[in-house]
Structures are given as structure tokens and as C-alpha cells.
Structure 1
Amino acid sequence: MDIRQQITDEIVAAMEAGPPPWRKSWESGGGLNFNASSGQAYKGINQLILAISPAAASGDVRWLTYKQAEGMGVQVRKGEKGTRIVKMVEVNRGQATKEANTGGEVLAEDGSKALVMKAYTVFNASQIDGMAPMPVRECNVSCADAVEQIIFGLQNTGLKVNFGQGFQPCYIPRTDEVRCPPASEFDSLEDFHATLLHESAGHGSQAMKRLAMMSSDVPRFGSAEYARLELVAELVSAQLGAQLGLPMGPSLIASHAGYLASWLQVLKDDKNEIFKAAANAQKICDYVSKLAVEAQPLVVKDAVADPVAESIVLARTARLCM
């Protein structure tokens, strides 16, 4: 069973039908999709899979397996169609063939071990009878505070962030510098913060001195490598935006519209690309969240299960946008 190809085909179809599907979770304002039993947010590719599920239209970001629903004393409604997500498991090499024959996909074999991708089904809370209404998301840290704290954490690693009239938002690998217009040049403060987060966290974190996902040589605009880097930054923006409750500003929407064709081509050429991009985006989100905590170790709790919102600290410092 070629799980990766099937998932890639589904994501490509969703992208061809409208805006990039990962923006749905971002725009819903409910935060990241998470398991209502464990309280843990889904990671990597599973966030994208759940974003394109028809059930995601409910705006509810809680999901359960059939068995978990039963364990919580609630019931998946008869006739509801679940959403297939994936997990990686390590098995004895002798079990690899059995796993492949029962719906798994063997990704790698090494010595006596094998890495298998297995699919399993989850249901949205809107498909389950007996689920309480989704709690209103409450958090006593503002989007501005959270974004600034992430930027401060990145600056502690040496990233330079410079503001100037007439600047085009960009990250320059050679000088490890983010350039951004001042807030007054954006349509809104949210647009300013979303753009700043994209360039700093989405691109700056990929630098060799941080997560080593890109070299100091800027790939040619329009190349497959350029598209890959932009796709990762877009996914970082979407995930952090969903976590922080930060809407995607019109500047990012407009600037990324031109990348859609190149993203589609990269995904169509290799079924592994969307998995790599999602994994790298997850790595960046985890990295910048850790930097934010280290910059000021004061944990802020969110009323709704949202692990990253719980790790964002309150920044009572001078506004970057001033």
C-alpha cells in the first residue's frame, strides 16, 4: 500500500481546488488539531491531512479514534466517515512483510529493524455524539507578545532583524539578516507580525547556524529548491499562526499566490516532498518555541489543550513594531 502517494495525491488535489489546505486550520482560529483523549497536538503531516478533511469544516480541532471515543463514553455516529492519519513504528524486520500485507508501508530496513508507516482512522468531535461543545480558546498572552518573544529568542542566536522604510520583507542568508518594513507600511498589525514571523522563524531558522536546512547561497528564484524552502516557511507560518491565533495577513497571501504552481510541481515530482516539508516545519516550530521559553522562562497556560500555546511566554518588553 503506497500511503505516501495517496496522501500526496489528496493534498495536491486540495491545492488545485482552492487555497493551500493548511490555511483552513490557520483561519479557523481554533488552534492546532489535537487528540481529545491525550490532549496532544498532532504533528507534521497529520496536521495537513486533518486540515483537508471534510470534517474539518466544522471548525472543531478535536479528534478521536473510535476506540478512544468509546473509552470516553461518547459514540461516533453511524455512517460517519473517518479521516486516515499516519504514524511511524519500528518493528522487527521479520514483521515488515506482515505489516505491509495489512496496510502498512515499509519505509526503511536496517539490520534487524524496519521502519513502517501505518495508517489509522480518527473522527472529528463534530462526528461524535456526546462530545461537549469545543471550549472557547482563552489565553492571557497576546499575539504580539508571543511573536515578539519568538523573535527575541531567535535574536539570541545571532539573527539580525532590521526595519526600514521601503524594505521588501526577506531573509538574507549571507548576512543572516531579516529585513522588514515598519508596521506602518502594513495593512494591519497582524499582517506585520505574520510577515515578520514568516521571514524570521520560517526562513531564519533554516540557516546553517540553526537547523541547517539551507546553505548561505540563495537558490535561484523559480527553482525547485527555492520552492521547497518557501513551502517549509509557509507551513511554519500556518502552524505558528494557528497556535498563536495570528491571522494570515494579506501581504503573505499575495506574496505566496505566485508560489502555488511551483509547490504543486515539487509535490507531483516526488511523493516524499510534502512529508519532508511538514517534518521540517514541525522541527522549526518546536525549535522556536523552545527559544521563546529560554528567552524568558515564564509559562503561560491556555484553557484549551494546546501544547505550544502553553509554552509561549509572556513578553513584557518594548514593542518591535514601534
Structure 2
Amino acid sequence: MKKSAFDIVLEDRKKLVERIIENMEKGYFFTKEGWNNLAVLPQNPVSNLYYKGGNRLKLMFEAIDNNYQDPRWFTFKQAQEKGWKIKKGAKGILCEKWIFTKKEKEKDEKGNEKEVEVPLPKPIVNYFIVFNGEQVEGIPPYSKTTFTKDEILKTVNNFIKSSEVKIREIAQTEAYYSPSRDEIVLPLREAFKSEEAFLRTTLHEMCHSTGHSTRLNRNQTGEFGTPSYAREELIAELGSLFTETSLGFKIEGEHFNDHSNYLKSWIGALKDDYNELFRACSEAEKASNYLLERYNTFEKTQEKTNDKTPKEKKRIIKKLKEDELEL
């Protein structure tokens, strides 16, 4: 019997989650050696859109595992239409496409016909296969803006300044976001191994802050070791990762807190339901976009006096806000 698109998508999800769990059981999320390549913001050069959510994470994994330096991914048909040729033996990656609404025509109170979007009783699932730019012959070389360490630190410091949540640095050993007080508490900067480690931890806590009831309203009541706690931590970790790459770079340095505890809680949640990763990706994308919009507004106010934001970074943030390549 031929497999349905739904079954194929779920099987592919399971493979990805099993791969991640295997990494987590060894004590890391991506490769043990770490990663530092340019291809962590997957995009389609034909449609000029960025991949989001689960598709984004899946393509990031492939780029890191294969050390791709090209962030461009597209279908066989798109390559063919451009006159590009997929290299012999190249293996494509399955991406998901979920359709939740349909367009219908209806009449307004004046009897005029208009087209509206209505929710489907059951979402339609489909999939498509994409190839990386390094698997293609004839494609123009990719060029990307790179940033110095000083530029990265300055950008993320400005990103922190854009927070609508109060951030306090005090002499204690834990970093956390308090939903009841709606504030982020961090150890003193001197307590961190590096400036980068401080910035990564702060981004993680800023992603937590988006879950407040006045913002994206996520469940943040779980105690350590519970499924809801693990889910929120996974959202914050993925959200901070998405935010870094959306800004156009990766920040080096570990979080202040012990990652092994987080990994253990994530493993349990993912083993119970491998779809949890994709739900977390969707929520992480929302959290990241919320913070990026705040940052974009902050940058606009700074432009009036001193415009030094690289044009490439502005373009990325603007495109991420406009794009609709989901899941």
C-alpha cells in the first residue's frame, strides 16, 4: 500500500527526533565538535523566502552535519528552471508543508462578493524535497556579509537594550526569568566565562520572557523535571538559536547554566512525543520573531542619530517578518 503524505512526514519527523535524542544522550544538541559555518539561515533563492520552524531546524542540522557553507535550498524543479543541475548522487531533504486554511467566496452585507480565508476542519499535509546549493552545478557562488567579534557583541548588546522586560544583574549564581515579577535575573557579567556566554544566556532568558501572559501567553508553570518545564526550556533554547542566526551570526560560548540538566529533561519530552520538537520549533519561531520586532523598532529609533546597522542585517530582519514559509 502506498504511504500517504501524512505518514511520510511523520516518519521523517521521527528520524530527525531520534537523531537529536542520540546526540542529547551523548551530551550535546548538534555535533560534539560544535559548529561555526555560514549556512544556518536556510533560504530559498528562487522564491526569496526563509524556511521556518521545523523545516528551518531540519535544514540547519543538515548544513551543520555536512559542513555546508551555502544557506540556499531549493527543489529539483526550481533548479531545472534556473538552468542549474543537481549533482549525480545528491540526496535531497524532505520539508513539510501544512495547509490550515482555504479561500472561499462570500458576500458582504451589501451583497458584494469577496474572497476570505476560512480554517479547514482538518489540516492538509504535503511535503517537498530540497537540495543545498553545494549539491548543484551552475549556481552562482553565494556571498554573505560577515561580522567581526566587536560588531556581534555590539549588536547583541543593543538587542538586550531593546528588551521590554527589566534585566537585573546581581551577585548570585543562577540565571532565570520570573513570570510573576516579569523580570530577568542574571549573575554579574564577571561570573561568566566570557562576554559571549553572558549574551547567549541573556538571549535564552529573553526568549522565556516572550511567554508572559501579556505577550505570547505560554504555559510557564511547570516545575523542573515536568513535561511543561522541558517544553518551555526547549522553546527558549531554540528561540535563542533562531534569534542568533536571524541576526546573521552565531555567538560562541556556553550558557551559564548546566546544559546536561536541560538535555535530560528534553530527552524525556521528545521520547514521549516526537512531534513535541516541531511544536516547540513553531513556538520558538514566534518567540524569536517577537524579540526581533522589538529590536527592529529599537534600531529605527537609533537610526535617527547614528545609523550603523549593516544593510544585510536589516534586510534579513525585514524578510523574516514578511516571510510565510512555515514549518
TM-score tier after normalising by the smaller chain length: 0.7 to 0.9
Q: Which runs of 4+ in 1 moved over 3 A?
A: 21-27, 90-93, 110-114, 138-141, 298-306, 309-312
For residue 299 of structure 2, the aligned residue among 282, 296, 301 is 296
Identical counterparts, % of pairs = 28
Report whether the alignment pairs 1:123 with 2:131.
Answer: yes
Deviation sequence 1:236-283 (CA, Å, 0-9, x none): 12111223313242235x622222232122122224311210000001
1:68 maps to which of 45, 64, 78 = 78
Residues 202-246 of structure 1, C-alpha deviation per residue, up to 9 Å, x if partnerless? 21111112110134xx41111111000000001012111223313
Residues 3, 182 of structure 1: alpha-carbon distance in 2 compared, 3 angstrom cutoff? farther
Structure 1 residues 21 and 8, CA, compared in 2 at 3 Å: closer, same or farther? farther
Quick one: which amino acid aligns to residue 78 of structure 1?
Answer: K
Counterparts of 2:120 and 2:202 in 1: how far apart (Å)? 46
Equivalent residue letter for 1:213:
R
Q: 1:22 to 1:40 in 2, by over 3 A?
A: farther
- The Cα RMSD (Å) is 3.1
Letter in 1 for 2:255: S
Residue by residue over 1:3-53, the C-alpha shift from the partner in whole angstroms, topping out at 9 and shown as x without a partner, is 453233222222233232499997424441111223322100101111233
Distance 2:127 2:212 in 1: 33
TM-score of the two chains, using structure 1 as the length reference: 0.79
* Partner Cα separation in structure 2 for residue 196 and residue 305 of structure 1: 22
Q: Please tell me the residue identity of whatever aligns with 1:144.
A: L
* In 1: Cα distance, 2:141 partner to 2:33 partner: 20
Letter of the 1:66 counterpart: F
Residue 211 of structure 2: aligned partner: 206
* Separation (CA, whole Å) in 1 of partners of 2:286 and 2:197: 24
Query: Equivalent residue for 1:17?
Result: 22
Unmatched 5+ stretches in structure 1: 94-109, 313-322
Contact 2:240 2:288 in 1 (8 A): no
Q: Does 1:232 align with 2:235?
A: yes
In the superposition, the TM-score normalised over structure 2's length comes to 0.77
1:142 aligns with 2:147: no
Which residue is equivalent to 1:42?
Answer: 51
Give the Cα–Cα distance (whole angstroms) in 2 for the partners of residues 20 and 310 of structure 1: 27
Deviation at 1:309, TM superposition (A): 7.7
Query: Could you say which residue in structure 2 is the equivalent of 1:182?
Result: 188
Aligned-residue offset at 1:181: 1.9
C-alpha change, 1:271 and 1:13, in structure 2 (3 Å) is closer
- Residue 102 of structure 1 corresponds to none
Alpha-carbon spacing, 1:181–1:304, altered in 2? closer, same or farther (3 Å): closer
CA distance in 1, matches of 2:127, 2:34: 22
For residues 21 and 100 of structure 2, the distance between their equivalents in structure 1, rounded to whole angstroms, comes to 34
- Tell me what 1:97 maps to: none
> What is the CA distance between 1:120 and its match in structure 2?
0.2
What amino acid sits opposite 2:287 in the alignment?
I
Q: Is the 8 A contact 2:192 2:198 kept in 1?
A: yes
Q: How does 1:1-322 map to 2 (within 5 A)?
A: 1=4, 2-18=7-23, 19-21=28-30, 27-53=36-62, 56-90=66-100, 114-138=122-146, 142-155=151-164, 159-200=165-206, 202-215=207-220, 218-244=221-247, 245-251=249-255, 255-297=258-300, 298=303, 300-303=309-312, 307-308=316-317
Q: How many residues align?
A: 289
Alignment partners' CA distance in 2, 1:85 and 1:23:
25
**Residue ranges of structure 2 left out of the alignment (5+ in a row):** 104-117, 322-327
